[in-house]
Every structure is written in structure tokens, then in C-alpha cells.
Amino acid sequence: MIPTSNKWELSSFIPPEAEKELQGYPPILRQILFNRGYSTHELARQYLKAEKPAVTSPDDLSGIPEAVTRIQRAITNNETIAIYGDYDVDGVTATALLIQYLRIQGAAAVGYIPDRFEEGYGLNNDALESLKNDGVSLVITVDCGIRSIEEATFAQIIGLDLIISDHHHPGDEIPSAIAVIDPKQMDDSYPEKELAGVGLAYKLIEALNSRQAHPKIDHHDFLDLVALGTVADLAPLVGENRYLVRKGLEYIRKPLRQGIMSLIGVAGLNPRQLSATDIGFALGPRLNAAGRLESAQAALELLITKDVGQAAYLAQELE
């Protein structure tokens, strides 16, 4: 045996009460479930079956009601809405999700993803001013913005309304905006704190759809994008994330989005057998390559295009 200086810390054995709760599972699985905090039959079932948590109403997220009201007004008044995303897969999928949803609602929606090398991460004043000059009146951030204090103030000065949607930890100060959606805010009561940026974008369209008697599209149709962004961002696959990814994989296995079909094709994968591992090691890295090497615009275009030829070309470009 090779000697080691490592000090191993063993998990405690499963206590009798948990043993009884989990008696329907094999012994090794019982111990694993207990080690991970699933010590009752109900918790174990929810985890293993990736069930939807009981409390997931989007209106429990701080900022959602205000955001919905402003977006509805923008759609009614034919305002131009910009979705301002990050250049990683989480940001790109969130941007694509909101652009497509809002366009289906009849909104004039455009996407903006900053150049990784020339602009860096998050909001910047030059981009905001450019969007304002292009006729944009409302900017919705996805996967960024929670620490953009000065940029949010600048948006106010130039007359841009701002909705911030971000899943990162805020700083000591919250940016001034029409609405700030981030479950990691101190006063936010939403129980699921680990949603990715695309998960929050999904909750926003879920809230928008809940206000419509006859929604123009089922928000579940965007779960393929949610699964892509959540897994690629290494968000913990527990709670609502686990449920969203499980449902999203069902949509990816029967792909309707042309860009995802083409991406699966160039990766040499069988869509019917696609797993979260395939997202993490095959699809995600291909989409990430655009933002890391050049511009994430190609990845965004791939996810929103309906043109078969363009999707095939863009997927090959990311190969």
C-alpha cells in the first residue's frame, strides 16, 4: 500500500430513522442519498425522479411583477427591447430564449452580447448609448448586471429603462433599475437560489405567459435552451434545476430547434439518447467556443435561426 499524508474524513453511517425511511432502496443507494441530505422517502423520490419542487411560482421572485408590467407596456407600445446577455452558454441561451419569446409576442426584440476581448463582461456605457441611438427604450439583462451600479445609473441618465436579470451574487449595493431579478438578493424569498441565468429568463416568460388567457406559445417549448444553459454553466443539478434539465432533455431528444439539431449532428450524437453529460462535454463546449475565441454572435444566431442551411453552416463553424 502506498503511504499517504491525506487525512480521510468518513461520512457517518446512516441512522436507523433514515434507514427506515429509505428502506425501499438498495443499501449503497440509501447511504449515498443520506450523505447528500435526502434522508426521507419523499426527499429521495423528488431527487431521483427530478420532480418539480412544490413552490416555484415566478411571482415569488423579487422584481418579476415589475418586470412583467414594463415588458407588457413595451410590447403594447411597439417599443424596441434589447436583450443584453453574457458571452457564455448560459448568457447566449438566455438571450436566445427571450428574443424568440418576445418576437412571438409581436415585440421588436434585438440581442446584444458584448465582445469578450473588446468590451469584457457585463454592461458597458458605450453599448448602452449605442442601443439608445438605435431606438431601444428597454434593456433586459440576462446573466449579468447585478454589479453594474455605474452603468445602471448611466442608463437612467440617457433615458433607457433597465430590467436586470442575473443569478450572480450582488455586491453591497443593488443597481437602480425598473426591476432587479436575482434570487441571491438579501430580501428575495424564492426558495430556489441556484437557478442559472437562463433559468431566470425562463421564469420571466413563465410569468408573462401566466398573464395571458391564451398564450401564443407554451413556455415549456423553451426548456431545451434552459437545459443547455443550466448544464453548461455547471449549475447544481438539484431542486428546480434538476427538474428543468430533466424536462429540457425530453425536448432536446425530439429537437424542434433547427440550430440544436445541427449542433447535435456535427457532434455526432444520437438525439434520442442525449444526456446531461453530452451537453456538458459536447454541445456546451462548442457553443462556448464562439464567445471564447471570437464573438458569441455565431452561437446566438445558431440558436435563433429557422433556416436549415444557415444552421448547418453555423454549427460547422463552431466545430
Ranges 116-120, 160-164, 168-172, 210-214: which has the least confidence: 116-120
Residue 227 lies in a domain: yes
In-domain check, residue 248: yes
Model pLDDT, residue 1: 53
Cell digits of residue 163: 430590467
pLDDT at 128 over 80: yes
Residue that finishes a domain, picked among 29, 48, 67: 48
Answer whether residue 42 is part of any domain: yes
Residue 200 lies in a domain: yes
| Residue 112, amino acid | Y
**Residue 71 confidence (pLDDT) above 70:** yes
User: For residue 7, what pLDDT is reported?
Assistant: 76
Q: Are 23 and 86 in a shared domain? A: no
Are residues 154 and 31 part of one domain? no
User: Is 160 found in the same domain as 37?
Assistant: no
Range of the domain at 167: 58-317
Residue 140 sits in the same domain as residue 286: yes
* pLDDT at residue 256 is higher than 80: yes
Same domain, 213 and 122: yes
> Domain total for the chain?
2
pLDDT at 40: 94
42 and 174, same domain (yes or no): no
> Are residue 181 and residue 109 in the same domain, yes or no?
yes
Is the same domain home to 201 and 248?
yes
**Residue 7: inside a domain, yes or no?**
no
CA dist 248 and 242 (Å) reads: 10
In a domain, 192, yes or no: yes
Domain assignment of residue 196, yes or no:
yes
Query: Do 113 and 242 belong to one domain?
Result: yes
Mean pLDDT score of the chain: 94
pTM: 0.93
Say whether both 122 and 235 belong to one domain.
yes
Q: Are residues 31 and 71 in the same domain?
A: no
